[in-house]
Chain A
């Protein structure tokens, strides 16, 4: 019976492939409404940073100018940890404090030389920094509307070990490996980021977020590829994705809450399934109350330096 089902499915798929055709169509997609998008986060020992932007109609051009024009300035953004209430400073890229250009350019994904000539604004706290175990309430007032959210910085989770393992068929190259013991109790969620020791911004590999629905309470080893290598034009395709023996990297392994994880999990699911007609496109659940999209997330990072040898 299973064989018949397999053959039937195979036959249907083949007839589908050989007889179907795909074309671009213009159809009416109703329901667009402009919404505020919040991209806010706070990490241990770092100030809160909030970027605000607007949604665009699906048929609006996805060009860089629309991206630049979408950022919101003039909003009131307040972060409170229960004892300190901080109205965040609005900082714009054409008036950055010296020495922050490269970090800010990485936030926006634009070159330093371009960003200092643009007026892109974001909000940063100067009265508080993230502390483990504290909860942070976010309030945004913009164009007469108020949006709120809450996040926490959880107890950090340390990797048991971090090591480099050479790939047998690519001598001198290998993935970064880690050993993790997940605590009992479901809902633990993690983010993996990495950078070369000499770099400023961290990069995210494929699938940087995970939670313990598959490995709750287990001790296990896992590997991550080198995301920086994919944009390095000096590398040949065979070694892309690997760390070279002798590389020194810094791994940033952060704990985050389950609501925040749900946002990132669905976000990356949507990104990875983009353009795939067989995928399940889903809306990304926001933890912002008041009708905005996006996320207000607390991260509790641990840092490990690895010399690949």
Chain B
């Protein structure tokens, strides 16, 4: 994937109540989903052309943040986006078995498909008399570049894919509502926010699709299309003052997808569906020289599809995969600790004019940071896969689920300096 583009933004403040921004951007996308070649002796096999997908994406926007009253602030905006999928491109249409495929060849610069749309957004903030506020928002978006992953691949492999004449732009809307309140002279900030997001024109690979299946074919002929939704609630508490500062964030969320051609048409959890997500960050400033920090994160494991059964055909042991994304990886959690030593910010010098000692700020500052990543050496899953070993008919065949973990406990020392 290669992008070339630019953007420009302007701001205008007509009076103290309005803050207007506008601008635009343009990107030229080039995607190369696959490139395959093969030959046997002098015979070169026909693997089709290396498919490069080219497209132009442009947008213009304007938004105004203005205060209707002292209590009510509104941010309203409108974005217009346009997208053109262009040649050179060869569209393959698979014929029935025994009949040749048909192709449509588009020349350089030919506009194969044009999409455009308006993306409105509005957010409100209403201040309540008791140092609290309510925020609400709505946004509608087009997304012309999709992210998908191979259906059941073990390794986390995500693929970027552009909108084409078949793969329509992803459309989504999000509504949110939040309550924010500060306590104890703003030493504590708290908030709770709920959201719902709806998505259309999501893409996934067909059940059983393999990377090599798009030989003499278009990648988007291997895709299926569906809808998705996500909702959740976020809690946040932050302490900003004093020696002991930090924040706690917790999100409960659910993200699901529904495709007519996948999982027998039943909804299934998204790969990154994460029911619980907790972050705790704490910092203790002992004095000007020493600061200690810690962070802890906990997240429900990603979903994946693993075989739920095995069977035998022609003496070969085969796997049958269960419902899509029905297996949950073990949870991810990790504690990191750090201690940072700072040199003195000032040094004492004798003022040559007065002969008295004065303190001046150092031009060269440095600090040492000692940290331990993954303190309790948690073996967090990066991905899981089913391993098998042995000869089935000899009776020593074994199936096991293996977990690959990336980073164990890692102590580190860092020297930072500034001048």
Contacts and interface: CB of A to CB of B under 8 A. Distances in A.
A126 B3 CA distance: 66
Contacts, number: 219
Contacts of B395: 63-64
A55 B210 contact: no
Interface in A154-200: 184-188
B327 to A, nearest CB: 5
Contacts of B97: 185-187, 257-258
B376 to A, nearest CB: 16
A214 B327 contact: no
A279 B311 contact: no
A130 to B, nearest CB: 18
Interface string B21-55: 00000000000000000101101011100000000
A23 B400 CA distance: 10
A158 to B, nearest CB: 18
Contacts of B207: 282-283, 285
Interface stretch (B244-252, B335-343, B355-363, B402-410): B402-410
Interface in A208-253: 213-216, 218-222
Given A62-B397, A275-B388, A55 B208 contact: no
A144 to B, nearest CB: 21
Interface in B303-330: 306-323, 326-330
B151 A282 contact: yes
A20 B382 contact: yes
A269 B210 contact: yes
A102 B296 CA distance: 64
A30 B325 CA distance: 10
Contact of A30 (B327, B399, B400): B327
B46 A216 contact: yes
B308 A186 contact: no
Contact of A108 (B313, B315, B382): B315
B309 A58 contact: yes
B45 A186 contact: no
B84 interface: no
Interface string A44-56: 0000000001111
Contact of A55 (B320, B383, B400): B320
Chain A binding surface SS class: loop
A267 B210 CA distance: 12
B321 A281 contact: yes
B405 A35 contact: no
A23 B320 CA distance: 23
Contacts of A143: none
B402 A22 contact: yes
A187 B99 CA distance: 8
B154 A277 contact: yes
Contacts of B322: 29-32
B120 to A, nearest CB: 38
B124 interface: no
Nearest to A281: B152
A280 B402 contact: no
Nearest to A63: B395
A295 B307 contact: no
Given A64-B395, A277-B154, A278-B155, A19 B311 contact: no
Contacts of A108: 315
A21 B408 contact: yes
Contacts of B407: 19
Contacts of A22: 402-405
A274 B379 CA distance: 24
A30 B382 CA distance: 20
Interface string B71-108: 00000000000000000000000111111110000000
B309 A35 contact: yes
A119 interface: no
Contact of A39 (B150, B313, B403): B313
A222 B43 CA distance: 10
A27 to B, nearest CB: 6
A82 interface: no
Nearest to B41: A221
A26 B320 contact: no
A29 B320 contact: no
Contacts of A21: 379, 404-405, 408
A24 interface: yes
B401 interface: yes
A305 interface: no
A185 B94 CA distance: 11
Among B308, B317, B402, residue most surrounded by chain A Cβ atoms (within 10 Å)? B308
22 contacts: A22-B403, A23-B402, A23-B403, A24-B402, A25-B403, A27-B327, A28-B327, A30-B327, A58-B307, A62-B310, A62-B317, A70-B311, A109-B315, A186-B99, A267-B318, A275-B386, A277-B154, A280-B211, A282-B210, A283-B320, A283-B321, A294-B313
Interface pairs A-B: 5 shortest CB-CB? A31-B322, A187-B97, A109-B315, A220-B43, A214-B45
Interface of B: 38, 40-41, 43, 45-47, 94-101, 150-155, 207-211, 215-216, 306-323, 326-330, 379, 381-389, 392-393, 395, 397-408
